[in-house]
Amino acid sequence: MSRTNKLVKIAVVAAIYIVSTIALGQLSYWGPIGLRVSEMLNFLAFIDPFYIISLTVGCAVANFYSFSIVDVFVGSFATFLATYAMWKTKNMLVSIIWPVLGSAFIAEELHVLYKVPFFYTFFTQALGELIVMVLGYFVFKKIFKNAAFLDRIKIKYPNEKIEYIKVKELNRL
């Protein structure tokens, strides 16, 4: 795969993250329970580590529209850690835990900046993240059944996770 092709795939996913976060701003940045639908894209990092870059950049740019410039750094760092952990996790359902736990970074940020209670904020942020990630699990579980789609989005060669998913789907037929 050419370097240009890799960069295009990374840029497109970052752009989708940014646009969907900003377009759904009321949900993405809403009060105690933020439902950032763009977080569903984290499942792309589960199957290919190159998407860690696009999701981190997408989060950083989208967070310029957030409550604080600090969120650009804290939120994108939390996304980086969560998506990296998702890539390292073998089970897609189990990988949901990492973005949910990443909510602790946002809770701490809000606690430090605005003196809101940490545990309440963590609970509400984690709840919103959990809702989005569970929905994303079912959406991407369906999407990942499409072998042609998996071949098109693949950046890392060879990609053992994608090959495993494709073989697992063939065995179900």
> Each residue of 12-45: pLDDT tens digit?
999 999 999 999 988 887 767 889 999 999 999 9
In this prediction, residues 136-161 reach a mean pLDDT of 92
The pLDDT of residue 136 is 98
pTM over 0.85: yes
Distance CA 99, CA 39 (A): 8
- Give me the mean pLDDT over the 147-153 stretch: 92
Question: For a pLDDT cut of 70, what percent of the chain falls above it?
Answer: 99
Mean pLDDT of 93-105: 98
Mean per-residue pLDDT over the chain, rounded: 93
Q: Which residue's entry shows tokens 């579980």?
A: 141
Predicted confidence at residue 64, as pLDDT, reads 94
Q: How many whole angstroms separate alpha carbon 88 and alpha carbon 75?
A: 20
Q: Which CATH architecture has domain 3-172?
A: Orthogonal Bundle (1.10)
Q: At residue 173, does pLDDT exceed 70? A: no
How many CB atoms are located within 10 Å of the residue 168 CB? 11
Cβ atoms within 10 Å of 89's Cβ, excluding its own: 15
6-10, 31-35, 120-124, 141-145: which has the minimum mean pLDDT?
31-35
Q: What sections of the chain are H helices per DSSP?
A: 3-23, 25-28, 42-47, 51-62, 70-88, 97-114, 118-143, 147-153, 160-172
Which residue has 């840029």 as its token pair? 11
Residue 5 has pLDDT above 90, yes or no: yes
